[in-house]
A and B are shown apart, each in its own frame.
Chain A
């Protein structure tokens, strides 16, 4: 989903080359006022409310309803931080990072008034293993002891990798050391679910029992989701959520162009609304001519990485020198223009994106943003063979095709022949993440599911992520990199882990399996009564937990 949204973001920003970054991702630093009804206008027609099935970011929809053991502290201009949510801290590691212990805060209650206990956390995680509830973020499922063949709690079996020695303590036993476990327990599956309140996998998601500041008032799939205050939520124990509005209404299935027009018009109830979808190109250009709307346009800091994946298993790309030549031949400037200019994103040279702790800036293939054709030709000459003919697989959207043409024109300068092959989004996803990889190059975009360099590197470059739905679209397999990923993953000291991830970043790019193109930016529009609306670099989406209304 991240990938899909990021691609849409690039599309949405493709028209205007002028500066839409009216707010630099920062907006309205006023205090949090209480009251009012906030409307969130979204093109999505349904919301996955069951934590086990959700891929929601910690700071968006589900974060309003359910708390997790930890959560994210996202502030404009600052690096994302993991902070305690239901737990008293972000976790105590032992056994070299194989065991993580959490203690719950005092006086935690569900929306029905019952106490939240460690058993509810355990049950929530166990549910995420049920095949009936597949689809959510699943990083933890590979790690917990006892996961082999475990199919959830509905057959009466518990997961041996989670212990609850008392009502307030929960202990996770992992198969391997995992330093980023505090980030994983911020994911939806780590929200508490009371066993007594679970009417079954198909029913619980209709109205989950809330632990956050809001609870579901009504949900009409395709029409609206209305949230009202949870009287049993205690602001004192939750420093991350400000819970400004009395009511939040998600207007579902909205056309993005109409949403943008409504927010530009800024009349009536739309003053209390913001768009959860990216502003479409036509309206982005319109906003530039409208001073009032321009003030309410918020563009993120550079976020997701747009990159060109080189399928290293293909005959034409097995030679490192050919892949290095592509690094120099690609015209990143042209790609940036095809993506909407500087408002579409900044030129990228690393795999770890901005806003992620421990990122190191470097450029292994220094060249003008338009490329270094002479250097590329020299590298091709050194191979002793002509530059190969390559197939570039991309989605069939207008922006995707423009971006592909920018890549094609860059590579042609160095003697490559590039044939662009377009397909529907689902078909491209199936081919690039499945077993049958009939492409040499493909364009992709990636925003990590959690703000750690681990999220930048592991899903895209570990050998286990080739095929079977994995996102290693370069089909890159390097034992040395796998070992480095394993070492960094198991490191519980954040500073040392960050050093290892930065090392992995450089090591991977030495093999040139991808060309980093741009760090993309997303633009959102909000009504004039909306305050505390900002979009950071990670994640490049509004922080729903902080938004409030002027009273």
Chain B
């Protein structure tokens, strides 16, 4: 009952957050002087054609009314224009991109596979590398390994992703000719090509993210290793590997999982720069193009989708706390 109430409360909270995010996105983009209808009016544009374009796109009414239309579309779908050429966007309609001639939900579905492949592969790598390096550094505190790993971590935290991506491409793509320098092949077309095209982006993202996890894990582990129960475990004669792995790491994982949930949720919403550098047609690229072309329905759709992912990731993290540390459920 407690768990049901907890999940129910979180879902209501999530809906409120999504509502706020969608209002904010609409308001921000309509406060800008850019006019989506003017940008798609054609050249040269006339007042009549501009009015026609605005009416067809549904942007000839105040922004709040457009927002209400958007909300209505989520439940009842929307129709743009009239007659045989009218465009219908079925419920739940997250908007329609007139630039790309497709419902926003279709565009997101098409691109999500790329971002999902990128984010999950990189996440596995950075979690293994970051947590592994952090634990080792803590256990061998002050050693050459510790200093080396932490120097590497500082570099990873400080380096801009665009620069790391380009350097990775220059070194592994052009100089060593080990991996492709960009592009994407769907897993279903060729699993090997899929893997081959994603290895470098995974490594770049893992380098950037693992650094945070290594530093976080090291700090937490050092603190935990000084706790009384660890001393007790050692005094009982448990092997060091078991002390660190079973008793130490389990307690370290709570903050790590918190950060991981946020990072993964955020990345699933689109790794804008990494996708651009490696020419990956994911959600980040879609959002970047949409911003450049004032494609508001896509901007709102991707922003909301990203918000949903972050909320879901947070929910998953909250539920995981109970698994990692049973005390949390009480």
Contacts and interface: CB of A to CB of B under 8 A. Distances in A.
12 contacts: A46-B289, A131-B56, A132-B80, A132-B81, A134-B49, A139-B44, A200-B85, A255-B182, A257-B166, A258-B277, A261-B169, A426-B39
Interface of B: 32-35, 38-47, 49-50, 52-53, 55-56, 80-81, 83-85, 87, 99-102, 107, 110-111, 166, 169-170, 174, 177, 181-184, 276-277, 279, 281, 285-286, 289, 294
A255 B288 CA distance: 12
Nearest to B55: A131
Most buried by B among A152, A436, A468: A468
Interface of A: 1, 45-46, 50, 55, 130-132, 134-139, 141-142, 151-152, 154-155, 200-203, 205-206, 220-223, 251-255, 257-258, 261-262, 265, 267, 424, 426-427, 429-431, 433-434, 436, 449, 459, 465, 468-471
- For the complex of A and B, 4 pairs with smallest distance between CB atoms: A222-B281, A469-B45, A154-B85, A426-B34
Contacts of A205: 101
Contacts of A465: 44
A154 B83 contact: yes
Nearest to A135: B40
A486 to B, nearest CB: 15
A134 B45 CA distance: 10
Given A141-B49, A426-B39, 20 more contacts: A45-B286, A132-B85, A134-B49, A135-B40, A137-B42, A137-B43, A202-B87, A206-B101, A221-B100, A221-B110, A252-B281, A253-B285, A253-B289, A255-B277, A258-B169, A258-B181, A427-B34, A449-B43, A465-B44, A470-B44
Given A131-B55, A138-B44, A427 B32 contact: yes
Contacts of B111: 222
A152 B85 contact: yes
B277 to A, nearest CB: 5
Contacts of A135: 40-42, 99
B165 to A, nearest CB: 9
Contact of B279 (A130, A254, A449): A254
Nearest to A462: B44
B276 to A, nearest CB: 6
Nearest to B180: A268
Nearest to A261: B174
A232 to B, nearest CB: 26
Contacts, number: 152
A253 B47 CA distance: 33
Query: Chain A: interface secondary structure?
Result: loop
A46 B279 contact: no
A28 to B, nearest CB: 25
Contacts of A221: 100, 102, 107, 110, 281
A434 B279 contact: no
A132 B56 CA distance: 7
A267 B178 CA distance: 13
A255 B166 CA distance: 10
A468 B47 contact: yes
B276 A253 contact: yes
Nearest to A155: B83
A46 B81 CA distance: 24
Contacts of A433: 38
Most chain B CB neighbours (cut-off 10 Å) among A155, A201, A203, A221:
A221
Contact of A154 (B56, B84, B281, B286): B84
Given A141-B49, A201-B85, A254-B279, A262 B39 contact: no
Contacts of A45: 281, 285-286, 289
B45 A223 contact: no
B294 to A, nearest CB: 5
Contact of A155 (B42, B84, B110, B285): B84
B254 to A, nearest CB: 38
Nearest to A433: B38
Contacts of A426: 32-34, 39, 294
